[in-house]
């Protein structure tokens, strides 16, 4: 079922369709709703799709005008699109942007966003192969992990809250850029996880040897690391101390190096 808009949407909000949207024929999560919004973030179209229809729909939309896809949480939606060979150019990750807006000093009124506690949650993540073998253990552990809601009404409500919060920002342009960058990072992370990141073992060893010195035998430390540690000891006049004793190194004799230190625990 679809109610397309004549205009090319600027935003496309994705979420699971509730029973009421389908006359009770299908259960929660069996269909996906896409709501089109214009530049002013006003609703201009609605679509209800099966999960198998979503990749084709997204591919066609990307070809038409590359809207910004509003995801509840990118890892919940994007991996399935990538498996189907569909990549998107822009998205708005509500979970990531919520975390920024509820803490940003640029936002004058954060109350509505901060009160939506269900959006202050961790990301969705697929189990790794070893985890998948221990099905019941993983299921029990994951049941205690709080994730954001993925239904369309919750996504629309949170998007509206965040839009209102942005209007109260002292520098909305700067904040929008930050939100876009954070969401883009979510896309890149999903694409990297899907494709894998190639890494050459020999090149890795070469870089480590160049920076730290030749690989030492046993539990010994690399030569260059030891040399730097000696320089640190000499600079702080702590010749009898080991370089990894941060509290002793800085906490007891900061004056010797003309450093004022109130607390160094947070650095380590």
Q: What is the pLDDT of residues 86-113, one digit of tens each?
A: 999 999 999 999 999 999 999 999 999 9
Contacts of 179 (CB under 8 A, 6+ apart): 92, 96, 97, 100, 101
Q: How confident is the model at residue 242 (pLDDT cuts 50, 70, 90)?
A: low
Confidence check: pLDDT of 154 > 80: yes
Helix intervals (H) in 168-222? 172-195, 201-212
**How many H-runs (helices) and E-runs (strands) does the chain carry?**
11, 6
The model's pLDDT over 44-84, given as tens digits with 9 standing for 90+, comes to 999 999 999 999 999 999 999 999 999 999 999 999 999 99
Instruction: Enter the DSSP assignment of 47.
Output: E
Q: What confidence category does residue 129 fall into, taking pLDDT thresholds of 50, 70 and 90?
A: very low
Q: Which domains does the chain have, with CATH numbers?
A: 2-195 (3.30.420), 201-267 (no CATH)
Burial of 29 (0-12, 13-18, 19+ CB in 10 A): middle
Q: To which H or E segment does residue 71 belong?
A: strand 68-71
Q: Across the beta sheet with 43-50, what order do the strands follow? A: 2-3, 43-50, 31-37, 11-16, 68-71, 91-93
**Is the model's pLDDT at 208 over the cut of 90?**
no
- Please state the rounded mean pLDDT for residues 213-219: 81
Rounded mean pLDDT of 247-257?
46
Contacts of 239 (CB under 8 A, 6+ apart): 233
Average of per-residue pLDDT across 234-250: 55
At residue 235 the predicted structure's pLDDT band, cuts being 50, 70 and 90, is: confident
């Amino acid at each position: 079922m679809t109610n397309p808009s004549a205009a090319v949407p600027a935003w496309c909000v994705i979420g699971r369709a509730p029973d009421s949207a389908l006359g009770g024929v299908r259960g929660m999560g069996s269909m996906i709703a896409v709501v089109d919004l214009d530049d002013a973030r006003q609703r201009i179209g609605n679509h209800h799709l099966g999960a198998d229809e979503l990749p084709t729909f997204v591919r066609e939309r990307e070809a038409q005008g590359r809207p910004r896809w509003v995801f509840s949480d990118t890892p919940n939606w994007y991996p399935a699109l990538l498996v189907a060979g569909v990549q998107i150019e822009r998205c708005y990750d509500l979970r990531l942007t919520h975390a920024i807006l509820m803490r940003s000093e640029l936002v004058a009124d954060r109350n509505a966003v901060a009160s939506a506690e269900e959006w202050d949650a961790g990301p969705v993540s697929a189990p790794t192969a070893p985890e998948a073998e221990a099905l019941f253990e993983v299921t029990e552990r994951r049941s205690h992990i709080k994730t954001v809601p993925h239904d369309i009404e919750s996504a629309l409500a949170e998007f509206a809250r965040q839009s209102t919060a942005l209007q109260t920002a002292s520098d909305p342009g700067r904040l929008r850029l930050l939100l876009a960058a954070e969401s883009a990072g979510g896309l890149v992370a999903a694409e990297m996880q899907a494709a894998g990141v190639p890494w050459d073992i020999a090149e890795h060893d070469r870089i480590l040897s160049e920076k730290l010195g030749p690989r030492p035998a046993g539990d010994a430390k690399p030569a260059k690391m030891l040399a730097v540690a000696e320089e640190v000891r000499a600079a702080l006049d702590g010749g009898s101390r080991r370089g990894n004793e941060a509290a002793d190194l800085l906490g007891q004799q900061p004056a010797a190096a003309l450093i004022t230190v109130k607390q160094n625990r947070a650095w380590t």
